[in-house]
């Protein structure tokens, strides 16, 4: 038998045949190695885990309409094509509109309550990716006409899971109306026969749109007791405007009011300028067409659309989402009668803040959309990540030291327990180096076994931590097995230095003393 | 040249003179018994001869080497090469089997050789028990393993400190027979004992008292 085999035989026998001792020592190494391997696994995995966790706190990139670009399927697709597939974790389009919640109908067009709510149309499948923190009681809408109601909104309107809510949306439509207007011109003698001329614009339905007067040839009105200016002077303008305003909307011919009992549609004269006023009315009545002009007008048409939804889920987020009602994009299109239009697309993209910044710029430049980072989250992500890693690193260090102390204590106990045996070995001719080699050998063997056990248990430990803290699984890191074993062996060997020193100092003569 | 020459050796612990100007010469192949009351300095002397301790004064020559002057490392070497030790407590490595315990001695000396170790065990009548742990052996059997271990490297000198102190009559006789065999083979034996029967088995008996050689008796009826 070779010396090396005998050496291995002795150290393995020492560990394997003295089971209880060995188990104590092995336990301290294995526990240390377990925590070590576990923490290192977590440490290595933390960035991934944290990134995943932070992504779960909402999207980190927003797409919004640009100055000249609308946010629709086409522009969104263009933006998404710039993001590499493995980095894009999710994209959720949102269309936000104000709607009114209709309570119970109490009569023709009358409801018990009418409250304004923000309603969002979105794709629930994608929302679950970009906002995994959404806590839904019940379930996400699946079928048509199902709604996810924010918790606050639900309590305000008294919506119950499985109940129904009726919401109304005012579809507004801008209508352009082309109108052909007729221009008339006429004149009539006024004060002191000085001529008054007018230009009248008639709407297509014959009503007056505007009347413009030329009173330049009228001398100032004379009014008993006071000298007022003409229609055109500082005081008269007010009179003139309120005077001509009366014409708008009236039909020809016009009549000048002469008494208080006259009907409303009569034209009231400017007091103190009755002659001129009369001349204007006469001129309007006498005006003849001189031409036509077309004018386009925009009119807002409002049409109310109402729909009932089944409440499939109540949404709890702790944020403003709890005030909203969420419906599918299809239902949103149906209620608004607008297709392919989003207000914002929330993106969840993996990457460092620099990468994301560059990406956002690229998207903004190439698509004309506005692409913004949700900065608060990405920044804190980096800083929290750093702090957490530092913490894990510190704890790892502390565990390492504790393991060393523990192994050292155990080995010291082993040495004092085996004083006689060491004395005997020395009496049999063991040199100091043989004693060192044997104890270090035992330490290394312990480190090997404990490290192997720790590497496996450490993975389990890390898995538990990962599941508990981050709620996700973990990949087994094979490189960590030899690493853990080597570190354990090193730590064990280091821990053995002091006990070994003690062992070497043992006096062989003690074996002859009949202790 | 004598194998061992002890010249005016004293060992002083504070006030106490454990050995007080002891001189003794042992020839190659001699069988010496050292006797004396408890505390008379027998073990102290054995430690010095066995290269595990150094005298306070005086000189010890083992095979011509002055072991009272050597460094610890050199002493370990000399002990390993020249001396076989047997103790009262039949010390064995508790987690190694009988044959492995014998091989430990070979391991520190030169090369572990299992067949040689088994032969040595055969010689002490324990071939059948070679694979047993010390806890599975009786006291007498353990002491015989220790004898086998002491003789495995063919030392010139075997030092035994109360080798039969804890043994019954039958086992004592087995061990004495082994000593006789070793003596016939030319091994020098120094045996510390309280037991007159063991003392009388030796060629010469040295009696220590208060660290001094009180008496030296040559065994006239000694038969090899
Ligand atoms: N390391 C030591 N320090 C102090 N005194 C010691 C030491 N070793 C031995 N002694 C003392 O020296 C004396 C001789 O001791 P030693 O062990 O040689 O006696 P012994 O003859 O072997 O006795 P026993 O028959 O009981 O084994 C004793 O009084 C003992 O107390
Ligand atoms: Mg003694």
Q: Are residues A191 and A339 in the same domain?
A: no
Residue to test with chain B: of A19, A512, A515, most B Cβ within 10 A: A512
Q: Are residues A116 and A161 in the same domain?
A: yes
By residue range, what is the domain housing residue A204? Answer: 176-298
Question: Is the CB of residue A343 less than 8 Å from the CB of residue A64?
Answer: yes
CA dist A356 to A90, A95, A348, A365, B197, Å? Answer: 15, 24, 10, 14, 97
Q: Which of the listed residues A329, A345, A374 is the one where a domain comes to its end?
A: A374
Residue A229: pLDDT band (50, 70, 90) is: very low
Domains in chain B with CATH codes? 28-56+73-218 (3.40.50.300)
Q: Where are the beta strands (DSSP E) in A67-217?
A: 88-102, 105-107, 110-111, 114-122, 135-138, 146-150, 164-189, 195-202, 208-214
Q: Which of the listed residues A337, A355, A374 is the one where a domain comes to its end?
A: A374
Q: Which residue from B minimizes the CA distance to A18?
A: B95
Q: Are residues A280 and A180 in the same domain?
A: yes
Question: What number of residues does chain A have?
Answer: 515
Look at residue A172 and give its three-state secondary structure. Answer: strand
Q: Which residue from B minimizes the CA distance to A7?
A: B107
How much is the average pLDDT of A289-311? 85
A332's tokens? 């949103």
Comparing C-alpha atoms, which of B74, B18, B191 is closest to residue B66?
Answer: B74
Can you name the residues that pair with A116 across neighbouring β-strands?
A100
Q: What is the pLDDT of residues A370-392, one digit of tens each?
A: 998 875 455 556 677 777 778 88
Q: Model ipTM?
A: 0.91
Q: Are residues A185 and A308 in the same domain?
A: no
Q: Which backbone phi and psi does A425 adopt, to 5 degrees?
A: -60, -40
Q: Are residues A185 and A272 in the same domain?
A: yes
Q: Are residues A292 and A307 in the same domain?
A: no
The whole-angstrom separation of Cα A339 and Cα A330 is: 9
Q: Are residues A225 and A312 in the same domain?
A: no
Residue A342: pLDDT band (50, 70, 90) is: very high
Which residue is closest in CA terms to ligand 1's atom 30? B39
C-beta atoms of A6 and B105 within 8 A = no
Residue B69: pLDDT band (50, 70, 90) is: confident
Ligand 1 pocket residue status of B11, Cβ below 6 Å = no
Q: Is the pLDDT of residue B204 over 90?
A: yes
CA dist A423 to A34, A439, A496, B83, B130, Å? Answer: 35, 14, 18, 16, 23
Q: Are residues A272 and A190 in the same domain?
A: yes
Q: Is the pLDDT of residue A56 over 60?
A: no
Residue A239, judged by CB atoms within 10 A of its CB (0-12, 13-18, 19+), counts as buried
Q: Are residues A16 and A31 in the same domain?
A: yes
Q: What percent of chain A has pLDDT over 90?
A: 17
Can you name the residues that pair with A227 across neighbouring β-strands?
A222
Q: Is the pLDDT of residue A53 over 80?
A: no
Residue B172: other Cβ atoms inside 10 A: 21
Strand pairing category for B57-62 and B4-13: antiparallel
Q: What is the pLDDT of residues B108-149, one digit of tens each?
A: 998 999 999 999 999 888 999 999 999 999 888 998 899 899
Question: Is the CB of residue B150 less than 8 Å from the CB of residue A429?
Answer: no
DSSP A468: I
Q: Are residues A180 and A105 in the same domain?
A: no
Q: Are residues A306 and A167 in the same domain?
A: yes
Counted domains in chain A: 3
Q: Are residues A107 and A193 in the same domain?
A: no
Distance A477 CA to ligand 1 centre (A): 61
């Amino acid at each position: 038998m070779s010396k090396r085999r005998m050496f291995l035989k002795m150290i393995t026998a020492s560990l394997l045949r003295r089971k209880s001792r060995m188990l104590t020592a092995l336990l301290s190494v294995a526990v240390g190695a377990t925590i070590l391997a576990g923490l290192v696994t977590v440490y290595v995995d933390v960035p991934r885990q944290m990134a995943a966790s932070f992504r779960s706190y909402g999207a980190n990139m927003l797409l919004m309409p640009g100055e000249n670009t609308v946010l629709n399927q086409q522009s969104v697709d263009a933006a998404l094509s710039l993001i590499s597939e493995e980095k894009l974790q999710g994209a959720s389009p949102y269309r936000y509109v104000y709607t009114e919640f209709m309570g119970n109908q109490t009569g023709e067009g009358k409801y018990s309550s009418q409250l304004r709510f923000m309603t969002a149309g979105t794709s629930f499948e994608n929302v679950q990716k970009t906002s995994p923190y959404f806590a839904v009681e019940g379930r996400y809408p699946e079928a048509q006409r199902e709604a996810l109601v924010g918790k606050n909104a639900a309590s305000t309107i008294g919506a119950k899971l499985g109940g129904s809510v009726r919401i109304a949306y005012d579809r507004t439509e801008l209508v352009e109306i082309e109108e052909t207007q007729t221009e008339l011109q006429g004149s009539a003698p006024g004060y002191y026969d000085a001529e008054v001329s007018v230009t009248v614009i008639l709407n297509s339905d014959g009503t007056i749109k505007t009347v413009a007067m030329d009173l330049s040839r009228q001398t100032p009105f004379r009014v008993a007791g006071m000298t007022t200016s003409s229609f055109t002077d500082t005081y008269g303008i007010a009179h003139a405007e309120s005077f001509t305003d009366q014409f708008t909307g009236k039909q020809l011919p016009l009549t000048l009011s002469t008494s208080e009992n006259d009907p409303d549609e009569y034209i009231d004269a400017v007091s103190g300028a009755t002659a001129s006023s009369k001349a204007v009315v006469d001129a309007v009545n006498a005006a003849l067409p001189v031409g036509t002009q077309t004018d386009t007008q925009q009119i807002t048409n409002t049409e109310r659309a109402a729909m009932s939804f089944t409440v499939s889920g109540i949404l709890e987020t702790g944020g403003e989402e709890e005030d909203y009602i969420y419906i599918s994009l299809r239902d949103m299109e149906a209620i608004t009668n607008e297709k392919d239009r989003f207000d914002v697309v929330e993106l969840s993209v993996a990457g460092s803040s620099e990468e994301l910044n560059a990406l956002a710029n690229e998207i903004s430049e190439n698509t004309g959309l506005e692409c913004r980072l949700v900065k608060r989250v990405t920044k804190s992500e980096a800083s929290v990540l750093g702090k957490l890693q530092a913490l894990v690193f510190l704890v790892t260090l502390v565990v390492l030291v504790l393991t060393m102390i523990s192994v050292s204590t155990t080995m010291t106990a082993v040495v004092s327990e085996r004083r006689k045996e060491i004395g005997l070995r020395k009496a049999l001719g063991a040199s100091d180096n043989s004693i060192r080699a044997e104890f270090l050998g035992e330490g290394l063997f312990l480190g090997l076994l404990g490290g192997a056990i720790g590497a496996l248990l450490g993975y389990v430990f890390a898995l538990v931590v990962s599941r508990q803290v981050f709620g996700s699984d973990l990949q087994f890191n094979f490189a960590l097995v030899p690493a853990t074993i080597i570190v354990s062996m090193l730590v064990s060997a280091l821990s053995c230095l002091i006990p070994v020193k003690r062992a070497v100092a043992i006096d062989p003569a003690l074996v002859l003393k009949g202790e | 040249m004598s194998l061992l020459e002890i010249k005016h050796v004293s060992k002083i612990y504070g006030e106490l003179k454990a050995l007080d100007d002891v001189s003794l010469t042992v020839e190659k192949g001699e069988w010496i018994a050292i006797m004396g009351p408890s505390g008379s300095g027998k073990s102290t002397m054995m430690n010095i001869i066995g290269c595990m301790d150094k005298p306070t004064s005086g000189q010890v020559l083992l095979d011509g080497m002055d072991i009272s002057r050597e460094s610890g490392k050199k002493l370990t070497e000399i002990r390993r090469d020249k001396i076989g030790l047997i103790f009262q407590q039949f010390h064995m490595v508790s987690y190694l089997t009988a044959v492995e315990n014998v091989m430990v001695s070979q391991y520190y000396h030169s090369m572990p050789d299992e067949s040689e170790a088994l032969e040595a065990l055969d010689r002490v009548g324990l071939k059948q028990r070679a694979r047993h742990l010390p806890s599975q052996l009786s006291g007498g059997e353990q002491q015989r393993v220790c004898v086998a271990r002491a003789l495995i490297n063919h030392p010139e000198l075997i030092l035994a400190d109360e080798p039969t102190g804890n043994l019954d009559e039958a086992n004592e006789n087995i061990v004495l027979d082994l000593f006789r065999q070793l003596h016939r083979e030319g091994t020098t034996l120094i045996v510390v004992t309280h037991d007159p029967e063991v003392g009388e088995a030796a060629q010469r008996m040295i009696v220590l008292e208060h660290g001094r050689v009180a008496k030296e008796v040559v065994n006239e009826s000694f038969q090899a």
